[in-house]
Structure 1
C-alpha cells in the first residue's frame, strides 16, 4: 500500500512496504509495482538521484535486491494533470514540419508545458491547436524541454512511432543539441564539464552540482567570441539535466548573463554606461538553443536545423563588439 505525506507541498513524499512477493526482486521493479502512477524510467531517475530510502537508507542502484517488509520512502515530483488541456491559437515559429515531427523555434518567455500555477498559455497548448494529432501523444509530442526564458529549437513528435524513436535517441545521446551563451568573465579556452547535478540541498527551486546522489551531466563548451569581461560560448549538451548549462557554468564561476537563479551580481564595472545598462537590462538568461541534428525517425537520414540568437542577444553582442579591444574575436 502507498501512503502520501500531506505536509510536503512541493514534492510528494510517498511511503510503501515491500510485499512478500517482492523478496529478492530488483528495486526499480518493485517500485514500479508500488508507485504505479510513475513510469519505470521516471522511478529509475528518482532512485539514481537519491530520492528513495529503503529502511531509512538512501539507495541509488536500481538493480539492488530488496527484502520483503522493507519500508520505502520516495520523494517524488507531482504528476501534472493533462486532462482537459485546451488547445490555444498561440503564435509559434514552425521551422519545419512533416508527417513525423515538427521543429519549433521557441521564444524566450514561453513556458513549454503546464505546471503548478500555469494551466494554459504554454507551448503544449499551442501544439494542440496547430497540430491536433498530438492530442494522442504524451505532452502533445514534446520530448525535451527548454526553460521558460531560454530561446531556441525544440523537436516535437507528431505520431507515436516518431515519439518512441525520438525518446530513444535522446536517451542514447544521439540528438545533437548546440547552444550559445553569453557568460560573465573572460575564458581562455574550451573544456568539458563532467559533474553530477541534483536538487540543491537547501533550495528546491534550484539545481546544483552535488557530490552524492546527483545524475551524471556532461557539458562541452568552446570559445565563440571574446569580449571585455564577457565571453560568448558555443555549448553542446551530451546529457540533458534540468538547468544543466546554467548550473555547470555558474559552478565554474562564469554564470550566464541575465540568469535570475544562478547569475549572481553582474560584474561590469568600468564599462561604458550604454553597455552596462544593456547588460543590466537583460531580464532573462542569455542562452539560445541554436542547432538540432538527428536521424529522421522515418528515413534514418541525418537532418539538422539552425536558428541564430534572437534580437536581445544580438544587441548585446553588437555593443560588446564595439567596446572590445579587437572588436571581439
Structure 2
C-alpha cells in the first residue's frame, strides 16, 4: 500500500474533499476518489472522512492506495503472440493480431487486456491490476495498440488524444481507384436501420474526420495510408465505404464484391492495419501481418 500526502492550499478552502482529490491527483477519477474515501483510505488528522467534507485550507490529507485487485485467476497466460513494440513505466504498446477483442467479451476467447495483464505486469488502473484502455482497435483490425500502466499514465494518454498530440496511421486495401489524396469529414452516428453499423448519413453533432493518400496502385484496388483526426468506432471502414472505396473483405460495410474478390480469402478479414502510432516521446511501427501481405501480393499480380 502506497501513501501520498497533500497539503490543501488556502485558495482551495470550501472545496469538497472528493472533488479536490480528483483534481489534484493525476488520473484519479471522481468515482475512484469517492470510493477510496468511503473505504477509509483518506484521512485528515488520522481520522476517516466523508466525500462531501468541506476543506478549510492548510490541512494535510493522507491518501493510501491499496494494492490493485487481481483479475479473475482463471486464464489466459497462454494465447496468441502479442509482440511488444514499446514498454516503459507508463505505457505498453503491442502489435495486436486480428481476431482479438481489446477488452473482455465473455466466453473462452482471451482479450488483449487479459493477455497483457498476465504477461507484462504490474498494472494499477482504477484499483485493478489491469491495463488502462484509452483507445481501441476493432476485433479484426491489427496493429499498434497502447495501454496504460497507471491512472496517471491513462490520464496523460487521454489528454494527449484530446489535444491532438497523438498521430495514428493505418494502411488499408480498398477496392477501386481512389483519388491520389482526399480528406473526408462529416457527421457520425449509429445507423438507425441497423444498430451494428455506423454512418455519416445522419444528423449528429459528433463529427468524424480523416485524410488518406495513395501508397500503391494495385490490380483493381488501392493501398492507402489513412491519418485519423477523430477516433470514432468503425470510422475508417465507414468513411471509405461511403466515399465509394470499401475496405477489402469488410463483411459489414462493403458490398458483396469486397468478400468475393480473389484477395479477400487471402486476408480473411477486413484489410485494415494500424501501422504507426506516435505518442508524446514515443513512436512505433507494427510490421504488416502475413495475411495482409498475402492479399497485397495477389493484388500486385
TM-score (norm 1): 0.65
Moved more, 85-94 or 232-241: 85-94
Distance 1:283 1:120 in 2: 19
Match of 1:218 in 2: 209
2:193 maps to 1:202: yes
Match for 2:294 among 296, 315, 323?
315
* Stretch deviating more after TM superposition (84-93 or 119-128): 84-93
Q: Distance in 1 between matches of 2:237 and 2:258?
A: 17
The one of 117, 124, 128 equivalent to 2:113 is 124
3-state SS of 2:207 partner: coil
Worse overlay, 251-260 or 213-222: 213-222
Secondary structure, counterpart of 1:129 in structure 2: helix
1:242–1:118 distance in 2 versus 1, CA, 3 Å = farther
- 2:180 is aligned to 189
Give the structure 1 partner of residue 283 of structure 2.
Answer: 304
Contact 1:229/1:268, CA 8 A, preserved across alignment: no
Larger Rg: 2
Separation in structure 2 between the aligned mates of residue 204 and residue 268 of structure 1, nearest angstrom: 21
Q: Which residue of 2 aligns with 1:228?
A: 219
Q: Which residue of 2 aligns with 1:112?
A: 102
- Partner residue of 2:274? 289
Structure 2 CA distance for partners of 1:120 and 1:249, relative to 1, 3 Å = same
- Please give the secondary structure, in 1, of the residue aligned with 2:256: coil
Cα pair 1:127 1:134 within 8 Å, conserved: no
1:279 and 2:264 are equivalent in the alignment: yes
Q: Secondary structure at the match of 1:192?
A: strand
* Correspondence for 2:87 among 97, 104, 107: 97
Show the 5 A alignment for 1:39-188. Answer: 85-86=72-73, 88-89=76-77, 90=79, 91-115=81-105, 117-118=106-107, 121-137=110-126, 140-188=131-179
Q: Is the alpha carbon distance of 1:143 and 1:221 closer, same or farther for their aligned partners in structure 2, counting shifts above 3 Å?
A: same
Q: Distance in 2 between matches of 1:251 and 1:114?
A: 30
**Distance between the aligned counterparts of 1:167 and 1:254, measured in 2?**
31
Q: Which whole-Å deviations, capped at 9, do the CAs of 1:191-221 have from their partners, x for residues lacking one?
A: 1101121000111111111331251111110
Q: Distance in 1 between matches of 2:259 and 2:229?
A: 31
Separation in structure 2 between the aligned mates of residue 268 and residue 283 of structure 1, nearest angstrom: 9
What SS does the aligned partner of 2:122 have? helix
3-state SS of paired residue (1:261): coil
Measured after TM superposition, the shift of residue 189 of structure 1 is: 1.6
Distance of 1:231 and 1:294 partners within structure 2: 28
Q: Secondary structure at the match of 1:225?
A: strand
CA distance in 1, matches of 2:258, 2:196: 24
TM-score under structure 2 length normalisation: 0.70
1:164–1:119 Cα change, 3 Å:
farther
CA RMSD between the two structures: 2.4
Shift of 1:161: 1.4
Contact 1:186 1:228 in 2 (8 A): no
* Bigger mean CA deviation after superposition, 84-93 or 186-195: 84-93
> Matches of residues 8-27 of structure 1 in structure 2 within 5 Å?
none
Cα separation, 2, equivalents of 1:305 and 1:204: 34
Structure 1 residue 321 displacement after superposition:
1.7
